[in-house]
């Protein structure tokens, strides 16, 4: 979904002054970005904060709002249940916001486990113990229509050859999608970043790689969001 022309005119005028203006966005802003954090990060945006800040700085804090996904982000034995809870949180929070602000454009950013729950909520399952009996999107039709872009970074659901893949990974993650999987409901609206040294979205051994997607690919992801959002 793209911001209507009238909103784009307003957006252009206000963005120029964004650095000087710290106004809060209206209750129903032109653009709203959801962020889902990585495993074991404390409640908040976690490493997803890097890209979320970039989006807000670009479009302007006076026309852009953000919202964290509230879920455990637990690891170890609690990981499957955490993913299940996270999927439900994405579905509920996006539906609640879209119902309240049906004309607001949405961007959804997930990092690591956060990317997994976003992918599952928008593209369906199955996903092991976390999502057993599902195919197709679980979010509402209004949410799908209003979503301009999904930005996934370090997703365990990463699979080689999927539309929207970025990075040099040649092996999928520990919860990789089946080969040939397509998310038709969000076709052309997903970017998923994974590099080969990453031990979670691929089979590498470098945790540092997993934490740096916002820094390495943030501008590329931002350019994609701009291309999807603006007329």
For the chain, which domains are there? 29-229 (3.40.50.1820)
Among the listed ranges 39-53, 82-96, 124-138, 158-172, which one has the minimum average pLDDT value?
Answer: 124-138
210 tagged catalytic: yes
pLDDT band, residue 22 (cuts 50/70/90): low
Q: What's the Cα-to-Cα distance from 41 to each of 27, 73, 111, 223, rounded to whole Å?
A: 28, 7, 11, 27
Q: Read off the pLDDT of each residue in 44-65 and give the average, rounded to a whole number.
A: 96
Catalytic member of 82, 195, 198, 202 = 198
Which pLDDT score, from 0 to 100, does residue 19 have? Answer: 45
Q: Which tokens belong to 223? A: 């350019």
Is pLDDT above 90 for 117?
Answer: yes
Pairing status of strand 147-153 against strand 31-36: unpaired
- What gap in Å lies between CA 177 and CA 48, rounded to an integer? 22
Q: Which tokens belong to 121? A: 């909520």
Q: Which tokens belong to 20? A: 């000087």
Q: What does R_g of the chain's alpha carbons equal in angstroms?
A: 17
Is pLDDT above 80 for 6?
Answer: no
pLDDT band, residue 133 (cuts 50/70/90): confident
Mean pLDDT of the chain: 91
- What gap in Å lies between CA 123 and CA 12, rounded to an integer? 32
Catalytic member of 7, 65, 66, 112 = 112
Q: Read off the pLDDT of each residue in 72-82 and give the average, rounded to a whole number.
A: 98
Pairing status of strand 105-111 against strand 31-36: parallel
Catalytic member of 32, 109, 202, 210 = 210
112 tagged catalytic: yes
Which pLDDT score, from 0 to 100, does residue 10 have? Answer: 43
Q: Read off the pLDDT of each residue in 46-61 and give the average, rounded to a whole number.
A: 97
- What gap in Å lies between CA 183 and CA 166, rounded to an integer? 16
Which pLDDT score, from 0 to 100, does residue 59 have? Answer: 95
């Amino acid at each position: 979904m793209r911001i209507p022309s009238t909103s784009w005119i307003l957006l252009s005028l206000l963005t120029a002054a964004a650095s000087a203006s710290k106004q809060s966005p209206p209750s129903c802003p032109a653009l709203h970005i959801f962020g889902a954090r990585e495993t074991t990060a404390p409640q908040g945006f976690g490493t997803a904060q890097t890209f979320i800040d970039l989006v807000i700085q670009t479009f302007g804090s006076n026309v852009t709002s953000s919202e964290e996904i509230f879920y455990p982000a637990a690891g170890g034995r609690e990981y499957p249940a955490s993913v299940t809870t996270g999927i439900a949180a994405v579905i509920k929070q996006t539906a609640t916001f879209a119902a309240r602000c049906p004309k607001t454009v949405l961007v959804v950013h997930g990092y690591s486990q956060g990317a997994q729950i976003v992918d599952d909520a928008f593209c369906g399952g199955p996903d092991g113990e976390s999502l057993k009996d599902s195919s197709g999107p679980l979010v509402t039709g209004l949410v799908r229509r209003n979503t301009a872009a999904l930005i996934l970074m370090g997703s365990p659901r990463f699979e080689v050859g999927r539309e929207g893949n970025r990075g040099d990974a040649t092996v999928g993650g520990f919860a990789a999608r089946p080969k040939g999987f397509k998310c038709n409901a969000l076709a052309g609206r997903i970017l998923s970043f994974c590099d080969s040294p990453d031990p979670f979205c691929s089979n590498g051994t470098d945790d540092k790689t997993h934490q740096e997607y916002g820094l390495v690919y943030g501008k590329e992801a931002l350019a994609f969001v701009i291309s999807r959002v603006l007329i």
